Structure formats: structure tokens, C-alpha cells
Amino acid sequence: MGKLTIWIVFAVVLLVLPQIFDSVLSLSIFTQMTIAIVFALSYNMLLGQGGMLSFGHAVYFGLGGFLAVHAMMMIEFETLSFSITLIPLVGGVFGLLAALFIGSFSTHKAGTVFAMISLGIGELVAASSLILVSFFGGEAGVSGDRTYGPPFFGIDFAQDDHVYYLAAAWMFFAVLCMYLFTQTPAGRMANAVRDNPERAEFMGYSARRVRFISFAMAGFFAGIAGGIFAVNYEILTEENLNAATSGRVLLMAYIGGLGFFIGPIVGAVVLTLINSLLSNYTDLWMLYLGILFLLTVMFLPRGLTGLLMMHRVAWQLGRMRLLLLPYTLTAIPGAVFILGMIAMIEMSHAEDAEFVYLGLALAPAGYGSWALLLGVTAVAFFVLRRTLPRLREAWSQANTLPRQPRHEDGHP
């Protein structure tokens, strides 16, 4: 029953969020998040659950999105007549069809072969999208209008909050379906094939068929994400199916954590925030995103969610308070260190003679500011290192099980 509660809370949060944060910006960010969440979770069906590293997942997002825009245009010109609320499904169906076709040969093997084919297909589709102008609209892309078609209980989706609720409803549906998929024989065998394809074959399963099913599902949900995108932005361009978009979804899933169902959700939320908020403050936000990705790969192989989950044992033993003081002691010099590094990066990028950072007027041209920042950062780094042994000790204390046989709790 705990699971049901989580889903209800999830639905309530989706309903209430735009009431609490009701600015135009936050609404736009929430809608972007719903798209990113569906897209990142669909990607994780490949990488996290199926062991298939794809560099071309944007193909299914983009193709679904383009078809969705074309469907919107058909509604506008009254070739078709159905509610705009079904547009994401159009995207999903075409994402599925594309994945059925491409997956029929790309899922023969996992590993490097699969990764290379996905890269090739991604480049191929992105390149042809610029050439096939009649369908993809060239550099300008194709655009539609979501306000046509039969209104949905009187709603014509001219307002942004209506679009948000439509996107959130589709997202909830897609997340639920993707979660339920992990609980089925095909979903579980995807994990088995990821871990040991050979043994799966000796249990009666064709590893290729298992991968193909996951691949088709991932294409379907990526297409749904593309369809929501089409409704929200009313335009699709080559950018939506090229390698940069494929790379971004990989980053979302990885930074969030591949090994957990909610990992990609966390990643999608964090990256959307970085993308839409941090970019207001600095031109260099992509650099910080890259650094975050590198640090995740190097130090948090299980992603941000893995970092949270690491604390499960301490939490269950009721020892979180042991960590509170050491964490605070490490966080203070850590924050100073990070802010110092950022200040230096930003200052080297600044063009004006004066550069204001956290209320501090710095002079990029003079030596004084540099010396100050360098000094503060170096001291912070030194202090940070001094706090680490204490944190380590507290960590091992908080995580030592009382003396009894291991694995008594009975939780998987």
C-alpha cells in the first residue's frame, strides 16, 4: 500500500505545484520538466534497465514530435478532427513505429555494436531532416497551432496552465506505464539480459527479442515526450532530433542515476532547472553541466539518487544525526571552495572592467582580485581536506550494523 500512497502524492504534487509557484516562468519550467521526465525515463528503459547505450534516442523523440506537429496542422486544416489532448499519443505511435523498424536490426547485439548503430542512425536522421524540407521544414522546422480541433470540455489550450495540466496528465500516465513495465516478465527479463544475455538464452529467452521489446517501448514513450513537446512549443526543428538532444537525455539519466526507477526523474528535474534557471545567470552554464556530469561519472556512479540512497542504512539505524555536524563542517569550506572556483571561472570570462559577484566588486584586470580569490579558494580547499577524516569516521560509525548476521531486514 506504500506504493499506492507514493503515486497519490505524486499526482497531488503535480496538481498543486502550479498553484504554489504560479509565475509564467515556473509554469513553463514545470511543463519542460514533464517532457524531460518522460524522455529521460524512456531512455533509461534502454540504458539502465536494458543495458543498451544509445547515442540516438532523440530520433524517436523528434520523429514523434514532428508527426505530432503534422497532425496538429491536419487538425488545423480540418483534414483530421480529433482533440488536441490526443496529440502526445500520435507522437507515441510514430515513435513506436520508428523504433520497431530501427530496432529490428539495431538490437541484434548490445554493447559497442548497438551504441555505434544508434550513433549512426541518429546522425542519419538528423542530416536527412535538413534535406527533406517538405516534411521537416529545413532549418526553420515545422510549426502548428494547438488551439484548433474540438475543445476538450470547453478548454482550447490557449492558456499555458491548461497545457501544463495536459502535459502533467500524460506524464503521469507515461511514468505509471513505464513503472508497471518494470514489474512484468518482459521488463524483468530486460534486467536479466542486461546482466547476462547468455544465461537468459539458456532459460528460453531470445536476448535479441527481449532487447527489441524494451527498445520499442522506449521509442513509444520517447515519442509521447516528443508529442507533449509539440503541444507545448507548437514547433519542432532539427535540434529536437540531433545528437545534442540525444546527449542531453543521456546526461539526465546518468546524473539522476541509472540504477533506480526515479533516477532519471531526478536527473530530468535537476537538468531542467540548470537549463532554464542557471542560464539566466551565466553564459557558462553548459560548462558547469559538463563538470557536474564528469563529477557524477567519477564519484557518483549511481548518480544523485544513489547519493541519497547511500544514506538508507544510516537512516534505518536512526543515526542520521551522527552525520549532521560532520556534513555541516565539510559543507561550509566546500561551498566556499566551489564559489571561489566559480568566481575565478566567471571572472576570466568577464568582459567588463568591473565584475560584481555575490555583492563583491571584483576587478578582472587587476592582480588584487585574483590574489584574493585564489587565496580564499586555496584556504577553503585546505580546510575542506582537514574536515574529511572526521566525516569518514562519522560515516563508518553511522553505517556499522549492530552485531548480528547480515541481511536480516528481509528487504531486497
Partner 1 sequence: MSLLQLQNVCKSFGPTQIIRDVSLNIEQGEKHAIIGPNGAGKSTLFHLISGRYKVSSGGILFKGAPIHNLEPFQITRRGLARSFQVTNIFPLLSVFENIRCALLWSMGYKYSFWHFLSRQTALNERAEALLEEIGLFERRNIPAGELAYAEQRALELGIAIASGAEMILLDEPVAGMSHSEAKNAVALIRKVTEGRTLVMVEHDMNIVFDVADRITVLVYGEVIASDVPEKIRGNPRVQEAYLGETPHA
Binding residues vs partner 1 (CB under 8 A):
180-181, 183-189, 191-192, 195-196, 198-206, 209-210, 213, 217, 407, 410-412
Nearer to partner 1, 82 or 205 (CB): 205
Question: For residues 202 and 299, which CB has a smaller minimum distance to partner 1 in the complex?
Answer: 202
Report the nearest approach of partner 1 to the CB of residue 50 (Å). Answer: 13
How many other C-beta atoms lie within 10 A of the C-beta of residue 79? 10
Report which of 137, 175, 168, 169 is spatially closest to residue 31, judged by C-alpha positions: 168
> Cβ 368 to partner 1, closest distance in Å?
55
The label of the residue with cell 552485531 reads 403
Q: Which lies closer to partner 1 via its Cβ, residue 49 or residue 272?
A: 49
- CB nearer to partner 1: pick between 301 and 375: 301
Nearest-approach distance from CB 24 to partner 1, in angstroms? 40
Q: Name the minimum Å distance from CB 205 to partner 1.
A: 6
CB of 183 to partner 1, least distance (A): 5
Is-contact 229 170, C-beta < 8 A? no
Nearer to partner 1, 60 or 157 (CB): 60
CA torsion angle 256 291 29 14 (round to 10): 20
359 or 405: CB nearest partner 1:
405
Minimal distance, residue 301 CB to partner 1, in Å: 13
Q: Note the Cα 398 to chain centre separation in Å.
A: 31
Amino acid, res. 165? Y
Which lies closer to partner 1 via its Cβ, residue 153 or residue 202? 202
Sign of CA dihedral 318, 395, 274, 365: positive
| Grid cell for residue 40 | 529521460
Of 39, 65, 47, the residue nearest 268 (C-alpha): 39
Looking at the Cβ atoms of 200 and 269, the one nearer to partner 1 is 200
CB of 207 to partner 1, least distance (A): 8
What would the grid cell of residue 14 be?
A: 503535480
State in angstroms the smallest separation of the CB of 74 from partner 1.
31
Nearer to partner 1, 168 or 207 (CB): 207
Of 42, 30, 35, give the one whose Cα is nearest residue 253: 42
Please state, in angstroms and rounded to a whole number, the distance separating the CA atoms of residues 327 and 308.
14
Q: Which of 234, 219, 311, 304 is nearest to 269 (CA)?
A: 304
Q: How many CA within 13 A on the CB side of residue 11?
A: 11
Distance in angstroms (rounded) separating the CA atoms of residues 59 and 100: 13
Buried b (16+ CB within 10 A) or exposed e, 354-383: ebebeeeebebeeeebbeebeebbeebbeb
Q: What is the DSSP letter of 401?
A: P
Of 134 and 183, the one with the shorter C-beta distance to partner 1 is 183
Min dist CB 344 to partner 1, Å, is 42
Where does 51-110 have alpha helices with state H? 58-76, 87-106
3-state percent breakdown (helix, strand, coil) of the chain, nearest 5:
75, 5, 20
Least Å distance, CB 219 to partner 1, is 14
Which residue is associated with the grid cell 518494470? 182
Place of cell 500516465: 173
